[in-house]
Amino acid sequence: MQSTSVEFYHFSGSGNTLLVAEAMAAAFRRRGVPVAGHRIEKGFAGIEPGQCLGIAATVAYFSTYPFVWRFLESLPPSPRTSDGAGVEVFYAGTMAGFAGGAVGSIRKILTDKGYRPIGAKVFLMPSNYHNVAIDRSANERRASKARADAASFADDIAEGRAAWGRIPVVSDIVASLARREWGPRGFRKKFRLFFDRAKCVNCGLCAELCPIGNISLDPDGTPQMGDRCEYCQRCVSFCPEHAIGIPGATHQQYRSVTLEAVRSGTLGLPEEGGDAR
């Protein structure tokens, strides 16, 4: 990596991707490379020549969420360094299964905008989708390995050893389906989330955390679910009363980071030390 600092944009629903991004940020900082964290749902704050653009986004529907695709597609062309090169960029994701529609298509979007890809890696993490039972020991082993692998990936990026491959046909087809929201539409039809009014205390946290503003609050604070949910699981994972779920289904609540870490987005720094926007 030739850049002297990292502007790291990230999104995580239950915290898996945030956990990986924090491990990478810590590894960069140990090398003396400053890292500023930015929540993807807050929008793009800019990038300058000499900075490296980092993207960390959860794998969903075998690619990533539609709103993450919209963020990537909205990025401006890369600024150019004095020698005419584009800004360096890397990608990190987390998955429970297959990520064939993420790595290659994200690379294409960014290279078409003039960014210079220097590495991509997807990490296996515990599933966050309505677990009837959670094996916490197995989850911690998987998360611990992902954190270690993420730190090694950051070291590989810094040393110029990382790679970013691409499988054009498979990746582009899967990504195209995801951008058309086939996954969220199917989930909304079969597994529409609902609020258990007997448990809900109208705290408003779900509306605050929803990355696309799909949850609104009535004048008395009662939350209402809109029709644009992309099933990132953030409201389900962080509801303090475990009051959000699928009708007729029971599950254990899963999250891998604290609410404060999600809110700040600073990737391990105190809130006043980074971009909490």
In 3D, which of 110, 94, 105, 89 has the Cα closest to residue 166?
105
Residue 88 φ/ψ, nearest 5 degrees: -70, 150
List where CATH 3.40.50.360 sits in the chain.
Answer: 5-176+259-273
Spatial contact of 109 and 64, defined as CB atoms under 8 Å apart: no
User: Three-state DSSP class for 219?
Assistant: coil
pLDDT one-digit tens code per residue, 208-244: 999 999 999 999 999 999 999 999 999 999 999 999 9
Q: What percent of the chain has pLDDT over 90?
A: 63
pTM of the model: 0.88
Which backbone phi and psi does 190 adopt, to 5 degrees?
Answer: -100, -30
List the one residue out of 185, 157, 173 whose CA is nearest residue 53.
157
Of 4-18, 139-153, 245-259, which gets the smallest average pLDDT?
Answer: 245-259
- 276: exposed, middle or buried (Cβ count in 10 Å: 0-12, 13-18, 19+): middle
The structure tokens 């491990």 sit at: 23
Structure confidence at residue 275 (pLDDT)? 40
Helix (H) or strand (E) segment spanning residue 231: none
Q: Between 1.10.287.3510, 3.50.50.60, 3.40.50.360, 3.30.360.10, what CATH number should domain 5-176+259-273 receive?
A: 3.40.50.360
Check: CB of residue 183 under 8 Å from CB of residue 60.
Answer: yes
Which two structure tokens, joined as six digits, stand for 153?
């990936």
* One CATH from 3.40.50.720, 3.30.420.40, 3.30.70.260, 3.30.70.20 for 184-245: 3.30.70.20
